[in-house]
Structure 1
Amino acid sequence: MALRGDRYNRGAIAFHWAIAALVLVNLFIGLFHETLLAGLRVMPLHKAIGATVLVLSIARLGWRLTHRPPALPEAVPGWERALANSLHWLFYALLLILPLTGWIFSSNPERPRPVSWFGLFDLPLLPVSSGAAGAAHEAHELLGLLMTALVVLHIAAALRHHFLLRDRVLVRMLPWADRHG
């Protein structure tokens, strides 16, 4: 029987799946708003989701700093542990920087685009220059592509652990999986 400590706790699982769902929706909107979604007014939704991701990611980072994650199985080589740890921290950075660059871009004083949180209230425009807003726009696009690549890599790694290595790495984060092995 697996130990209870080999799984993520319910808080970490809730943060993971809520943020993952929002990020997937936002990546889809970001990648296809000018093609598949052309003509639809999806950018206000994209911005509201981005603001939500920012707030949830700050909370998740606080949770992560106060709740130790379960150790990887002993069979996982050291290089793979180091890579997994580095990529998780890169995810945290992107989950903060991507929404912030979007907010900076939207705050361009030459062409401000307010960020409305689902029509309930507007986030204040940030005091940035048009140059900073332009740089943020470029960064937002490039970092969005990096996030897309990391999401694909993350999913591939989880599936590799589950189907090829047949270990419990994926199961530890599934909310419906047996909590005892």
Structure 2
Amino acid sequence: MENRVRYTRVAMLLHWAIALLIIANIALGLSAALLPPSILSDRGARMVIDTHKSIGITVLGLAILRVLWRLTHRPPPLPSVFAGWEKAMAHAAHVALYVLIFALPLSGWMHDSAWIAAQSHPMYLFGLVPWPRIGFLLHLDPALKDQLHTQLGTLHTACGYALYAVLSLHILGALKHQWIDRHPVLGRML
């Protein structure tokens, strides 16, 4: 049996905070995209989008803390009963999750910074804290800015779908190991 089979409390807190914020942001993103305009007024849409942006920036900050924590605190090893390919898949899924946890908020921030009306609509985290746009994108020629806004929006959406897929694999893998293989992996993060 390994000496330490659980993640540290800080790692657990960061894991679950990021997970819950991502789930909230998925719900906000989908509600903004799926609700008809008659239900979601311009003001309501702005509130949903601004909250989505605020949560995204919060996830970015927590992801930075999580990486810094992980660099200074080794995670517990995977159970020795895992096959080599399972360990490789778990590692690949974790790397993909980290990349996407950074790519999503960064692509969203860039998308927002390239918004044609960004200069006339300042961004505030949760309506309170002024948050800067990315300067070089903010000051581009309007035609290029509009083109980049579209492309960055597409990238942000693609990263979102990739996250849904990898996150689903991560959850299904954990549940498979816990309930089918009877390896107590959920206790490592609870």
TM-score by length of 1: 0.88
Between the aligned residues of both structures, percent identity stands at 40
Whole-Å separation in 1 of the counterparts to 2:72 and 2:167: 25
| Alignment of structure 1 residues 1-181 onto 2, 5 Å | 5-36=4-35, 39=40, 40=44, 41-108=47-114, 110-112=116-118, 114-126=122-134, 127-128=136-137, 129=140, 130=145, 131-174=147-190
5+ long unaligned stretches in structure 1: 175-181
Q: What residue identity is the alignment partner of 2:166?
A: L
Distance 1:74 1:4, change over 3 A: closer
Whole-Å separation in 1 of the counterparts to 2:95 and 2:83: 19
CA contact (8 A) 1:12 1:60 kept: yes
Aligned-residue offset at 1:36: 4.2
TM-score by length of 2: 0.84
Aligned-residue offset at 1:71: 0.7
Distance 1:109 1:153, change over 3 A: closer
Q: What residue identity is the alignment partner of 1:147?
A: L
CA contact (8 A) 1:45 1:118 kept: yes
Q: What residue identity is the alignment partner of 1:154?
A: H
Instruction: Tell me what 1:177 maps to.
Output: none
Runs of 4 or more consecutive aligned structure 1 residues displaced over 3 Å after TM superposition: none
Q: Tell me the secondary structure at the aligned position of residue 76 of structure 2.
A: coil
Whole-Å separation in 2 of the counterparts to 1:167 and 1:28: 31
Whole-Å separation in 2 of the counterparts to 1:170 and 1:136: 36
5+ long unaligned stretches in structure 2: none
Larger Rg computed on CA atoms: 2
Higher relative contact order (CA 8 A, sep 6+): 1
Aligned-residue offset at 1:13: 0.4
Q: Tell me the secondary structure at the aligned position of residue 6 of structure 1.
A: coil
Aligned-residue offset at 1:152: 1.5
Whole-Å separation in 1 of the counterparts to 2:27 and 2:122: 21
Whole-Å separation in 2 of the counterparts to 1:122 and 1:145: 29
CA contact (8 A) 1:27 1:148 kept: no
Q: Tell me the secondary structure at the aligned position of residue 91 of structure 1.
A: helix
Q: Tell me the secondary structure at the aligned position of residue 172 of structure 2.
A: helix
Give the length in aligned residue pairs.
Answer: 173
